[in-house]
Amino acid sequence: MLLPLALAGVRLPVAWRVLILIGLTQGVGFIGVALLYGQIRKWPLGALGLRWPRRAQLGWIAGGYALALASAAIGGAIVVALGFDPAENELGVLAASEPHLVWLLIVLSIAIIGPGEELLFRGAIQGRLREALDPTWAIIASSLIFSAAHVLALGGGASGRATTIAVLLLPSLVFGFVYERTRSVVVPALVHGLYNATLFVLVAL
């Protein structure tokens, strides 16, 4: 959609470009693929985790959020201590260079990025892997796939990308664990969205 506009000489503001790209990829793309897969497998929506969490499960949102941030902080500290130079996420770079867009990135994180990625990687992929593997291995495998998929959003060389993906695996395992315990994709979607939103705020400070 952006390419035809660019060829026509239409220059959209950065905020609109981010909104369109995130909406098309994580929104239409990820959610659409997950729902289509569920239809092909003849899964009810509940099999994709599309159910509201019970009141007793709401604590997993706060706990998962804190654990995801802690795991990323520990992973980042280890990487720095070992002398590795991680790659930067393109949206993180945008938040640092355009702080006025942080509000938009926060909204997109909670409303689109978290739900889209969790519905696909936890609801569809982890749900499918759980049919063939032990739940622990399903969490690990889906987290590896999730982390590796972020290579397209990273800048820098192969070493830096591999380092960032390794760190990203830690909060990804948290998202998968939270989903496995609650079986509601809403919970890890909120954990994931709040986690991303916090990172955007931190890099913009």
Tens digit of pLDDT for each residue in 139-193?
A: 999 999 999 998 888 877 888 899 999 999 999 999 999 999 999 999 999 999 9
- Band (7; pLDDT cuts 50, 70, 90): very low
Average pLDDT over residues 70-87: 93
Does residue 4 have a pLDDT over 90? Answer: no
- Band (9; pLDDT cuts 50, 70, 90): low
Average pLDDT over residues 49-75: 94
172 vs 99, more confident? 172
The answer to whether residues 195 and 63 touch, using CB atoms and an 8 Å cutoff, is: no
Amino acid 81: pLDDT: 93
Q: How far apart are CA 73 and CA 67, in angstroms?
A: 10
Task: Enter the tokens of residue 67.
Answer: 């654990």
Amino acid 6: pLDDT: 46
Amino acid 22: pLDDT: 93
Q: How far apart are CA 182 and CA 57, in angstroms?
A: 6
What amino acid occupies position 20? I
For residue 154, the cross-strand partners are 89
The answer to whether residues 46 and 184 touch, using CB atoms and an 8 Å cutoff, is: no
184-198 burial code (b ≥16 CB/10 A, e <16): bbbbbbbbbbbbbbb
156 Cβ contact partners less than 8 Å away, ≥ 6 residues apart? 85, 87, 88
Average pLDDT over residues 121-134: 95
Q: What's the gap between Cα 88 and its chain centre? A: 15
What number of other Cβ atoms are within 10 A of residue 7's Cβ? 8
Average pLDDT over residues 82-91: 88
8 vs 169, more confident? 169
pTM (two decimals): 0.92
Amino acid 152: pLDDT: 82
Task: Enter the tokens of residue 118.
Answer: 């969790």
For residue 89, the cross-strand partners are 154
Amino acid 92: pLDDT: 87
Q: How many alpha carbons lie under 13 Å from residue 104 in its C-beta half-sphere?
A: 19
The answer to whether residues 202 and 102 touch, using CB atoms and an 8 Å cutoff, is: no
53 Cβ contact partners less than 8 Å away, ≥ 6 residues apart? 60, 61, 182, 184, 186, 187
Q: What's the gap between Cα 102 and its chain centre? A: 17
Does residue 88 have a pLDDT over 50? Answer: yes
Gyration radius of the chain over CA positions: 17
Does residue 3 have a pLDDT over 60? Answer: no
- Band (56; pLDDT cuts 50, 70, 90): confident
Does residue 8 have a pLDDT over 60? Answer: no
